[in-house]
Every structure is written in structure tokens, then in C-alpha cells.
Amino acid sequence: GAVVSQHPSWVICKSGTSVKIECRSLDFQATTMFWYRQFPKQSLMLMATSNEGSKATYEQGVEKDKFLINHASLTLSTLTVTSAHPEDSSFYICSASVFPGQGMGKLFFGSGTQLSVL
């Protein structure tokens, strides 16, 4: 099956620093990747849709200057949390759709990144 690798699994950083999270599709090409954010015991909130070679599409209320997304290749998308603050602490998880042709194909998720900002 399709595998999505996400790194790091967890990161602790000081307030004001930037953190980069990588999401790779290991055995398939993902033209589209999705970034979600999840607070404890809550749902997955879509942050943005990442398209290879073009700008990401952000959901309403998501600050694109704070959450920089780059999808430079068909197998790699990165999320950079810039000038992180404690309220940015959360579980960030990426996913990729294998067959986006007829509507959404099933999503394969990375293992997620737990970010803690001190």
C-alpha cells in the first residue's frame, strides 16, 4: 500500500523559532497533499491543500504567512511553522490522495508531528 512518511515525530522548540515538518510519499507520486491540525481529543482540521509546483490553498482562518507550505516535488511537501508560539502547539499530520481523478481518493496519512512550543 501507499506509504506517507512524516518527520519529525515530535519537536520541542522555544517561542519565536521556526519549525519545519516534512511529508514524503515513499512509493507513489502525490500531486496533492493535505495538511491537517489536530488538538487533543478533537477532529482533524484541514489547514491547506498543497499542490506540486504551485502555491498552496489555505483554508479560511489559517495564516499563510505563519504556516508556510512548499510542495517542491511530487514526493515532498513541507510545512514550516514560523515564529512559533505556545498556541501553535498541536499535532500536525499530512496526507496524500493516491487517485485524485474522480473526486477524492482515499487518504494515506503520515504518522504526524507533535509540536510543543515552550
Partner 1 sequence: QQPVQSPQAVILREGEDAVINCSSSKALYSVHWYRQKHGEAPVFLMILLKGGEQKGHDKISASFNEKKQQSSLYLTASQLSYSGTYFCGTERVDSSYKLIFGSGTRLLVRP
Can you give the binding site for partner 1, defined by CB under 8 A? 32, 34, 36, 41-46, 49, 93, 100, 102-112
Min dist. Cβ of residue 90 to partner 1 (A): 14
Min dist. Cβ of residue 103 to partner 1 (A): 5
One-letter amino acid identity for 55?
A: K
Min dist. Cβ of residue 43 to partner 1 (A): 5
Q: Which is nearer to partner 1, 88 or 92 (CB)?
A: 92
Min dist. Cβ of residue 79 to partner 1 (A): 15
Sequence-distant (6+) residues with CB within 8 A of 39 are 90, 91
**What are residue 74's phi and psi, to 5 degrees?**
-75, -5
Contact between residue 47 and residue 35 where contact means Cβ atoms under 8 Å apart:
yes
Q: Which is nearer to partner 1, 13 or 46 (CB)?
A: 46
Q: Which is nearer to partner 1, 19 or 112 (CB)?
A: 112
E strands, the chain, in order: 4-7, 10-13, 19-25, 32-38, 44-51, 57-58, 67-73, 76-81, 90-97, 107-109, 113-117
Q: Which is nearer to partner 1, 81 or 96 (CB)?
A: 96
